[in-house]
């Protein structure tokens, strides 16, 4: 049984207490790089993207818990109109990184590694940034529906790591090739690399789409954390009133990359 740790949102400073309760310190390696991957798909404010204040609190927790580890904040935006560095600056990540002394990395431009898996139907060959493969990976998605995938939570958040050099394919978006058979595409991506830990921003939520439409009213007012990415996505689906069994990539991942049920939810 996977355990999800959740807390009613009061302010961002409570993130450290949530991470401690979720046992993140026991999972972290010693003397190794930690990569924090928010959702910065576009130059849009929260709740479309991950709030910089949440990532800053995660960084502070990590610096206090594992001062010997290198910490990097990285993502690869989807827009063809600007770079990830532009999003970093616009959404406050550049200033945050300077304030807490961590590095920022555009995953769209990072050195790559070629991987193969004959069991993957959609991506039997996959290219991913070396830093994603060689780091302890903390995914920090936001609670959102998605116009094509149904939901975009922690497993779909991994699409930010897909390099445009291989996954744009002349599309209107830097990861456009994922739009074909998107459920299998997200599942296969996570078979190569799924998050080691997830911190879900469910303070607001978007119930209809990922870059437009209404926000949740009332706001979901939650922060949640856990080590099982499939459980985290099933939990997020429930918050949005969606049956996880209707989301293809969660169904495919259940029993393979984690467990969507049964879930134990522990209030912090």
Q: What is the mean pLDDT of residues 63-77?
A: 95
State what percent of residues in the chain have pLDDT above 70.
100
The pTM for the full model equals 0.97
pLDDT tens digit sequence for 34-45: 999 999 999 999
Q: What is the pLDDT of residue 228?
A: 98
Residue 8 predicted with pLDDT over 80: yes
Residue 31 predicted with pLDDT over 80: no
Q: What is the mean pLDDT of residues 208-230?
A: 96
Q: What is the mean pLDDT of residues 180-208?
A: 97
Position of tokens 């936001």? 142
Residue 226 predicted with pLDDT over 80: yes
Query: Is-contact 4 226, C-beta < 8 A?
Result: yes
What confidence category does residue 30 fall into, taking pLDDT thresholds of 50, 70 and 90?
confident
Q: What is the mean pLDDT of residues 81-86?
A: 97
Distances (CA, A) of 30 to 14, 34, 71, 74, 144: 24, 10, 12, 20, 33
Q: What is the mean pLDDT of residues 67-80?
A: 96
162 vs 31, higher pLDDT = 162
The chain-wide mean pLDDT, for the chain, equals 96
Rounded (10°) angle between helices 52-65 and 93-100:
20
Rounded CA-CA distance 260/2 in Å is 8
Q: What is the pLDDT of residue 83?
A: 97
Kindly tell me the number of DSSP H helices and DSSP E strands found in the chain. Answer: 11, 12
Taking the alpha carbons at both ends of the chain, their separation in whole angstroms is 18
* Torsion angle defined by CA atoms of residues 190, 113, 164 and 161, in that order, rounded to the nearest 10 degrees: 40
pLDDT tens digit sequence for 132-170: 999 999 999 999 999 899 999 999 999 999 999 999 988
Specify the fold of 2-267.
Rossmann fold (3.40.50)
């Amino acid at each position: 049984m996977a355990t999800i740790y959740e807390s009613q949102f009061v302010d961002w400073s409570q993130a450290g207490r949530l991470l401690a309760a979720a046992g993140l310190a026991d999972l972290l390696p010693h003397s190794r790089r930690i990569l924090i991957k928010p959702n910065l798909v576009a130059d849009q404010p929260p709740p479309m993207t991950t709030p910089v204040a949440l990532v800053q609190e995660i960084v502070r927790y990590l610096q206090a818990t594992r001062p010997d580890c290198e910490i990097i904040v990285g993502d690869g935006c989807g827009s063809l109109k600007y770079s990830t560095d532009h999003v970093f600056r616009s959404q406050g990540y550049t200033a945050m990184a300077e304030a807490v002394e961590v590095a920022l990395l555009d995953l769209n431009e990072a050195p790559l590694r070629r991987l193969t898996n004959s069991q993957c139907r959609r991506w039997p060959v996959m290219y991913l940034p070396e830093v994603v493969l060689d780091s302890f990976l903390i995914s920090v998605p936001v609670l959102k529906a998605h116009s094509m995938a149904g939901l975009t939570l922690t497993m779909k958040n991994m699409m930010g790591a897909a390099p445009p050099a291989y996954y744009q394919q002349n599309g209107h978006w830097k990861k456009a090739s994922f739009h074909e058979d998107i459920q299998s595409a997200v599942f296969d991506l996570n078979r190569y690399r799924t998050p080691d830990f997830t911190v879900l921003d469910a303070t607001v939520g978007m119930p209809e789409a990922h870059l437009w439409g209404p926000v949740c009213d009332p706001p979901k007012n939650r922060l949640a954390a856990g080590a099982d990415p499939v459980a985290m996505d099933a939990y997020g689906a429930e918050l949005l009133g969606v049956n996880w069994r209707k989301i293809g990539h969660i169904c495919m991942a259940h029993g393979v990359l984690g467990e969507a049920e049964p879930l134990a939810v522990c209030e912090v």
